[in-house]
A = this chain, B = another copy of it.
Amino acid sequence: MEDILKNLDSEKKDRIINSAIEEFSLYPFEKASTNNIVKNAGISKGLLFHYFNSKQDLYEKLIGFVINKLYNEISSKISWEEQDLLERIKKLVIAKMKISEKYPNMFDFIVKVFSHKKAMNVDDVYELYGKYGINFETMLNDIYTKNVDYSLFQNPDEIQKDINIVQWTLEKYSEQMLSTISEENTLNFDKIVAGLDEYLDILKRTIYK
């Protein structure tokens, strides 16, 4: 993806990528319209098909690009020396928000691709998943398990529930913050992180020793 569009100025490149991501995150593959993509990206029909052989080709290249981006962006922000799971989850949530600021629909897109597989031939999805998805999922799993100090938790019997509560709360909070992005044009991350910390304090009090 990045290499295919390497000759474009990056502003136009992002317009194409975001327009395609938006369309594919809004509609399943067959209903997604290349006409809409070019219209919203502000380019001509011909140009899109100059860079990509077909709609299917665009879709697959997009998946590769997105998963790579997510992998790099997230893994670079997680420190494997950090043993406090709640801090890691916080870092993860912040990383997600930073990505969503530049590419607003990336997560919706990738969730749609791998959950709601009607979008394309199932075999193709699995092939793509094998190509890009496994590392990504392994990394996500590592965040919750690798070198984590579970002894911080107050009640060993309910650790999984505790984790769910934290995760769900921070996710919903960040979703809510992101939904304000249309009104102001950019996010005030200091403020957002402060809010995150307030929720984390309440939760730590509840589930940590």
Q: Which residues of A contact B (CB under 8 A)?
A: 27, 31, 158, 161-162, 164-165, 168-169, 171-173, 198-199, 202-203, 205-207
CB distance from A3 to the nearest CB of B (A): 33
How far, in whole Å, are A161 and B203 apart by their CA atoms in the complex? 11
Contact A161 B202 (CB under 8 A): yes
Chain B residues whose C-beta falls within 8 Å of the C-beta of A173 in the assembled complex = 164, 168
Contact B172 A168 (CB under 8 A): yes
CB distance from A197 to the nearest CB of B (A): 11
How far, in whole Å, are A158 and B199 apart by their CA atoms in the complex? 9
How far, in whole Å, are A167 and B182 apart by their CA atoms in the complex? 24
Asked whether A198 and B161 contact (CB < 8 A) given A168-B169, A206-B205, the answer is yes
Name the contact of A31 in the complex, choosing from B31, B169, B172, B203 (C-beta under 8 A).
Answer: B31
Name the contact of A169 in the complex, choosing from B158, B169, B198, B207 (C-beta under 8 A).
Answer: B169
How far, in whole Å, are A198 and B31 apart by their CA atoms in the complex? 42
How far, in whole Å, are A169 and B173 apart by their CA atoms in the complex? 11
Name the contact of A165 in the complex, choosing from B27, B161, B203 (C-beta under 8 A).
Answer: B203
Q: 9 tightest A-B contacts by CB? A: A206-B206, A168-B172, A165-B169, A168-B169, A168-B168, A205-B206, A161-B199, A161-B202, A31-B31
